[in-house]
A and B are shown apart, each in its own frame.
Chain A
Amino acid sequence: MNTLPRAADLGLIGCHVCGQVCKDATNAGLPDGDTLACPRCGSALHRRKPDSYSRTWALLIAAFILYIPANLLPIMRTASLNDIDDNTIISGVVELWVKGSPDLAVIVFTASIVVPMLKFFSLGMLLLSSRAGSDWARPQRAKLYRLVEFIGYWSMLDVFVVALLTALVRFSLLSRVEPLPGVIFFGLTVVLTMFASMSFDPRMIWDGRNSND
């Protein structure tokens, strides 16, 4: 039963930028809806985000590759008179836990490990299932995408922690904190996963078989 009409069925396009409902002028002789501009804000109108599959895959794979050194390499060095200690993301979490802040340890673990992994698995799964036109668990997949999009930028947490500690712990020889390359890889991973989730078009979840259920 087609009780919920979709924009394409009615010859309409919604503007990504301002939300304006526009007439899809493909029927009016234009070669492709992509050449249209929104009458209200002037942005290009697309029925679906352009090259969503390939762009999202490319960004996701690049992010995953950078995520490996982000976890293996140390992100920060703490140096004192007689001791040099290099910390990875995980060792930072363990330290918080051991030193009596398990709640913050859980928060940092979630932001730095759980959220990026969730993004890799979710976006990968969403890409594969959408490409297949699967009608499996559509509402849940839609919800998963919105969750990933909403929490993604919180992963930047550890980057800011390292930056702030570097700026604060500057007691010449007594005690110093320096950033190490892991933190750069991690920052870039977060940026790339944010671009990846932005370039995925959630409307593709509902394209394909039985989309009128």
Chain B
Amino acid sequence: MDTGAADALLICEHCDTVYRRRILVRGEVARCARCAAELERHQSLSVNAMLALVLTAMIVFVQANMWPIVTLGLNGQFSATTLWGMIITMWQQQAQVVSVLAAFTLFFFPMTKMLVLGWLLWFARRGRRAPGFVRLMVGLHHLGPWTMSEVFVLGALVAIVKAHNYFDVVADPGIYAYAALTVLITIFAGVDLRQLWVLTRDGQA
């Protein structure tokens, strides 16, 4: 089929309306005239900027997972936990379902997403498609809403407030790393990864 003509068109995912693609200026968002869903937005981040963001997120993510999140104190006794401490405790406390949910949505999925993105963007810097590009892009799409670090940050806040009524609460570095991670995730939320299909080509550069 004529791929040139197909790239000139755009279909609204929410109502199937077909549009002719047009160049967007900085800050512009194209919306569907039928259902008002977002069609496309101007992508202000370069591939290099995206890569820098992902690498930063990886470093912050490692810290968020290694460092304790909160410490509680009661009559001179102290108790702290990390993300994995929480996942293991839930498993031991007969809540394996919750343990697995937390392990995937807070650790495995976010980690996979960052590693895959880092790999794809590293090659995309020179307009190339990384080995496994197609499968990884499809995989990223299916990862969709299953990364929940930002929900966990809000959850930690609620837990701190609840615990505050009964214990001495000390926020540990892990919670700050998580807060930083949430900021990075929010910045990245405006990035449409589908642009990588257009920005990259197969073969050696």
Binding site for B on A (CB under 8 A): 4-10, 12-14, 16-23, 39-43, 92, 95-96, 99, 101, 104, 107-108, 138-139, 142-143, 145-146, 152-154, 156-171, 174-175, 178-179, 183-184, 187-188, 191, 194, 198, 202-203, 205-206
Cβ of A41 and Cβ of B137 under 8 Å apart? yes
Checking B1, B9, B15, B102 against A39 with a beta-carbon cut-off of 8 angstroms, the contacting residue is: B1
Bitwise, B71-109 to A at CB < 8 A (1) or not (0) is 010110101110001110110011101110110011000
- Report whether over half of chain A's contact residues are helix, strand or loop; otherwise say mixed: helix
Checking A12, A13, A99 against B165 with a beta-carbon cut-off of 8 angstroms, the contacting residue is: A99
Closest to B196 in A: A18
- Which B residues are CB-close (under 8 A) to A157? 151, 154-155, 158
B66 proximal to A (CB < 8 A) = no
- Which A residues are CB-close (under 8 A) to B162? 92, 95-96, 99, 161, 165
Q: Can you list 9 A-B pairs, Cβ within 8 angstroms, ordered by A?
A: A10-B18, A17-B142, A40-B134, A107-B158, A156-B101, A161-B158, A164-B81, A166-B90, A168-B81
**Given A21-B11, A188-B97, 13 other A-B residues pairs in contact with their CB atoms under 8 A:** A7-B18, A12-B11, A20-B197, A146-B37, A153-B148, A154-B154, A161-B159, A167-B85, A168-B80, A184-B97, A184-B98, A198-B144, A206-B15
The total of interchain contacts (Cβ-Cβ below 8 angstroms) comes to 208
- Which B residues are CB-close (under 8 A) to A184? 95, 97-98
Closest to B40 in A: A19
Cβ of B9 and Cβ of A17 under 8 Å apart? no
* Total chain B interface residues with beta-carbon distance under 8 A: 68
Q: How far is the CB of B2 from chain A (nearest CB, A)?
A: 9
Closest to A205 in B: B15
Given contacts A7-B18, A12-B9, A101-B161, contact A178 B93 (CB under 8 A): yes
Closest to B2 in A: A23
- Which A residues are CB-close (under 8 A) to B1? 22-23, 39
Checking B74, B99, B102, B148 against A175 with a beta-carbon cut-off of 8 angstroms, the contacting residue is: B74
- Which B residues are CB-close (under 8 A) to A13? 11
Cβ of B79 and Cβ of A160 under 8 Å apart? no
